[in-house]
Amino acid sequence: MKVSRERLYGMLVQSGYLYEFELVMNGNNYCKFHGKVGYHIDDCEEFHQEVKRMLAFSMIRIGNEEESSEVWMTK
């Protein structure tokens, strides 16, 4: 996937598919998906599985590299 998990998470929050925790931190040791310190969202297997589920149910679609947008949300 061309887009990072962190950026994908932000797109999913912005589009209303996920809700962001009130406590927002940045850094290499924080998972935005769980709102926990200890690992980065790029290493979060549960977030990875949630994205796979959304793809399987056609909730999101990832485009080709040639296209200007990388991820589309479908409703």
Q: Looking at residues 2-19, what average pLDDT do you find?
A: 85
The whole model's pTM is what?
0.70
In this prediction, residue 74 carries a pLDDT of 55
In this prediction, residue 25 carries a pLDDT of 66
In this prediction, residue 63 carries a pLDDT of 66
Rounded Cα distance between 47 and 73, Å, is 16
Rounded Cα distance between 23 and 33, Å, is 11
Is pLDDT of 50 > 90? Answer: yes
Helix (H, G, I), strand (E, B) or coil at 41: helix
Q: What is the mean pLDDT of the chain?
A: 80
- 9, 33 contact by CB (below 8 A): yes
Is pLDDT of 10 > 80? Answer: yes
Q: Looking at residues 9-20, what average pLDDT do you find?
A: 87
